Amino acid sequence: MMITGEYLKHMREMLGLSQQELARLAKVSQAHIAKIENNKVDPRLSTVNRILSVMERRERRRRCVNFMKKPVFVNKEMMIKDIITIMKKNGISQVPVMNKGKMIGSIQETTLLENVHKGYDLYAGDIMEKPFPVLDYNENIEIAKALLDFSQAVMISKKGNIVGIITRSDLL
């Protein structure tokens, strides 16, 4: 792949960097960045490498691992009243349901509200909904953002183990 001015501009915009910010971080002038992006100059290899290095560092910060928080789990044998207590105590609106280290479902505030008329003696396994989607901890945060349009949370895994959760409030 050839690295062109258009490619650098596209990458800069995808990473949310202004020309001025990229120039400051790459230690070149903003005018030089503009000329490179418009193919008005042929930059030195060292300049391109500095620009790419800045972009790579920015890209690493946009991974799920940098946005996730430690998840709170419940198991399928837990009673609804206990789940409500856990959710209130932790200030959360959804929890994954686990069984033997595997996510088997989820419970959200809406799930609880829809089922509370059945009584508080129900178990998580009786009312749980489908599990939240799972992404690798190194995945780009944009993938998690897209999944949050369809799910209340995204679980984050590392080497097959759930290690984090991302919700809309984590992105704010």
* pTM, entire model: 0.71
Q: Which domains, from first to last, does the chain contain?
A: 5-61 (1.10.260.40), 66-171 (3.10.580.10)
Q: What tens digit of pLDDT does each residue of 79-91 get?
A: 999 999 999 999 9
Q: What tens digit of pLDDT does each residue of 27-42 get?
A: 999 999 999 999 999 9
Residues 6+ apart with CB under 8 A from 158: 65, 136, 137
- Helical H segments across the chain, by residue range: 5-14, 19-26, 30-37, 45-61, 80-90, 109-115, 124-127, 141-147, 168-171
Q: How many residues does the chain have?
A: 172
Whole-number pLDDT of residue 1: 64
Whole-number pLDDT of residue 8: 92
Tell me how far apart the alpha carbons of residues 110 and 93 are, in angstroms, rounded to a whole number: 9
